[in-house]
Structure 1
């Protein structure tokens, strides 16, 4: 069986690309404006400025100013077409935990909805997930869902984890392995349950890369060598499906095919 999957979708907008980097608040505003023309972009800019000032002088392990992280988190949330309070929370999510900012101040500046979301994300961030393993994963996922009564809290935390995973190479190896396993046990399954498959896939592949680097790079090389063969199989099968469905239905449809991602292939091979 080929390592490919097919989705028959009626709306191409269901496919989200979380890999597009946003590096300025103007780019973030453009992304939000694209799906929410009436958004209060001045308020969004205000949240960015507040976060930038709160994190002033803080540097990430990558050497970048800390504001690059909340900006990246907000960009991922905007790719999900989420509402303005959620995106503002992405910008502000670390201010209470890592700066002198307070929930009272955030509520005064940005409203109760944003302050409650920031509070929820802060509580989840303070939970200790060390020494987690697969048997504990389900209970921990339930704890997170219970604490995040508003699903937007979970979405912000997932975006936070994804952006951190993208820069995990700047962490010590032992911390890379721990965070990668935690992501596989908790965050990737949560993304799957919420139906955010592109986010789940990237979380899994990044976790695979840092938890089992030898297996990851070996498989990546093998898959790369078969790239043309895999793409041809997908296109051939799409054509066959299109013809078959055209003959059997009068519905309008589009067919999308994608190769299985590396972690999915690895799991399949491990089960043999």
Structure 2
């Protein structure tokens, strides 16, 4: 009964304590800190602990408000657990997320099911978790939580500004403007799509763009309920506008999945052909992902090499699969057969040297020797961009190895080897490449917007210590604070 009373107070906006839940399926207690109104008025905090025995959980949840408290606590813990960056560690960020969930959950329960059959709460949390996975700040995630509520007319931008934050209200307003931009044109040809992309990149908040792109991806993941012609209309819009925009703002994770989903609905037979072939080369005989097998083998060999251990203090190995859409483009552009596509699997090895740039370069060459001891290298596909950097300063070792087994031929696997500094510079240089793929073809425009993306990344790096030291609520307040200094 005590939990039910706390639930009613919570949902009515009364002073709320710290509540601790003990669930039978989770031996570790789930704890959430609930800020009381008394903190703002009297500058003091009241904390209580409510421990629920496993046999009583089911009954208590059925009490008025109890179920919503459990949902609120679960959603809050899941979001903050996914946010691995510094934004989730600040009290202001946690407060912002909690207020957004507290406002939206009762309203979402009153809304009808989404057309795809999901509950509004499930859809809102799916979008919020996607934004958290992208390591967006709390204001963007808060806007993702509230977007459905706003579109349903249950709250206004003014109410969000007053009860949540002005930054969240601004992002919601901007994301709705981005959402409606494609409705302003009648024909979505190449020229019109390019103009729309340039318009979005020029006039909208980049975080609002990412919020809308995440919303579009969540929608594309659940398109099966729509008639075929509507699936194709949405997929064409994604392929023409949203996927290139995702490239342009540097969110490759979004762009690749958007492209693959649009490809699947626009050309289902071609997608099935490419997908079937790639799946045959992505898993071994036991159906374990090959990229994981190769990553573990490479990492073990690098970590156990005594010479390399003297030169580096950390080793990172990342793997990637070639997307279905990019595979199809390569087949069409180069006129290749599937077995002639050689970069289906790829590994990137990033080494953190102990000291000095020379040590880092020697570590890269040592890592290449270790790779050569594992697989046969293809000499005609070896490129040394450390000895001879690209004109834009890009430096890395590229190689392709033969991972075929005695009883099964496989495509070549590409491997990149670089230091942490080389990797950082490569990511910065990739901004310009992404902008070209996003539809900006004027070199001056690309250069200017690349500076914007690099500035965003720089601020994200700065924020790690600055947000904690100066108690900034978000990137917006961080930028303002830096300007004042």
Q: Normalized against structure 1, the TM-score is what?
A: 0.78
What are the equivalent positions in structure 2 for 1:79-228 lying under 5 Å apart?
79-127=133-181, 128=183, 131-148=187-204, 150-228=205-283
3-state SS of 2:116 partner: coil
Choose which of 115, 119, 123 in structure 2 pairs with 1:61: 115
* Aligned-partner Cα distance in 1 for 2:154–2:173: 14
Structure showing the higher strand proportion among its residues: 2
1:136, distance to aligned residue in structure 2 (A): 2.3
Aligned-pair CA distance for 1:53: 3.3
Query: What number of residue pairs does the alignment pair up?
Result: 245
Residue 225 of structure 1 deviates from its aligned partner by 2.1
Contact 1:73 1:160 in 2 (8 A): yes
Unaligned runs of 5+ in 2: 1-73, 336-485
Indicate the residue corresponding to 2:346 in structure 1.
none
The alpha carbon displacement at 1:44 in A equals 1.0
Contact 1:70–1:91 (CA under 8 A) maintained in structure 2: yes
Q: 1:147 and 1:34 mapped to 2: Cα distance? A: 28
For the residues of structure 2 that align with 1:32 and 1:213, how far apart are their CA atoms?
Answer: 35
Pair 1:257–1:109, CA change in 2 (3 A)? same
Structure showing greater Rg: 2
CA contact (8 A) 2:116 2:223 kept: no
Structure 1 residue 50 corresponds to structure 2 residue 50? no
TM-score, L = length of structure 2: 0.46
Deviation at 1:167, TM superposition (A): 0.6
Secondary structure of the corresponding residue to residue 119 of structure 2: coil
- Counterpart position of 1:72: 126
For 2:252 and 2:330, locate their aligned partners in 1 and report how far apart those are by CA, in whole Å. 18
Instruction: Give how far 1:255 is off.
Output: 4.0
Separation (CA, whole Å) in 2 of partners of 1:173 and 1:80: 30
Partner of 1:9: none
Partners of 1:29 and 1:158 lie apart in 2 by: 21
Aligned-residue offset at 1:170: 1.7
2:79 counterpart residue number: 28
Aligned to 1:8: none
Inter-CA distance 269–33: structure 2 relative to 1 (3 Å threshold): closer
- Displacement of 1:29 after TM fit? 2.9
- SS in structure 1 at match of 2:114: coil
The answer as to whether partners of 2:85 and 2:135 remain within 8 angstroms in 1 is no
The Cα offsets for residues 232-270 of structure 1, whole Å up to 9 and x where unpaired, read as 8x949x95xx7xxx99xx566534342211111011111
Identify the residue that residue 366 of structure 2 maps to in structure 1: none
Contact 1:58 1:66 (C-alpha < 8 Å) held by counterparts: yes
- Quick one: distance in 2 between partners of 1:92 and 1:147? 23
Q: Relative to structure 2, which stretch is displaced further, 174-183 or 220-229?
A: 220-229
Deviation by residue 1:211-235 (Cα, 9 ceiling, x = unmatched): 1111111211122223348948x94
Distance in 1, matches of 2:315 and 2:219, equals 37
Partner Cα separation in structure 1 for residue 154 and residue 199 of structure 2 = 28
Provide the secondary structure at the position in 1 that maps to 2:83: helix
Counterpart Cα distance in 1 of 2:118 and 2:186: 27
Shift of 1:130: 5.7
Q: Distance in 2 between matches of 1:57 and 1:115?
A: 21
Q: Is the 8 A contact 2:84 2:135 kept in 1?
A: no
In structure 2, the CA distance between the partners of 1:103 and 1:211, relative to structure 1 (3 Å rule), is: same
- The alpha carbon displacement at 1:33 in A equals 6.3
Deviation larger for 24-33 or 58-67: 24-33
- Once residues 130 and 204 of structure 1 are traced to their aligned partners in structure 2, the CA distance between those partners, rounded to angstroms, is 22
2:90 equivalent in structure 1:
38
Please state which structure has a larger fraction of its residues in helix: 1
Alpha-carbon distance between aligned partners in 2 of 1:257 and 1:105, rounded to the nearest angstrom: 45
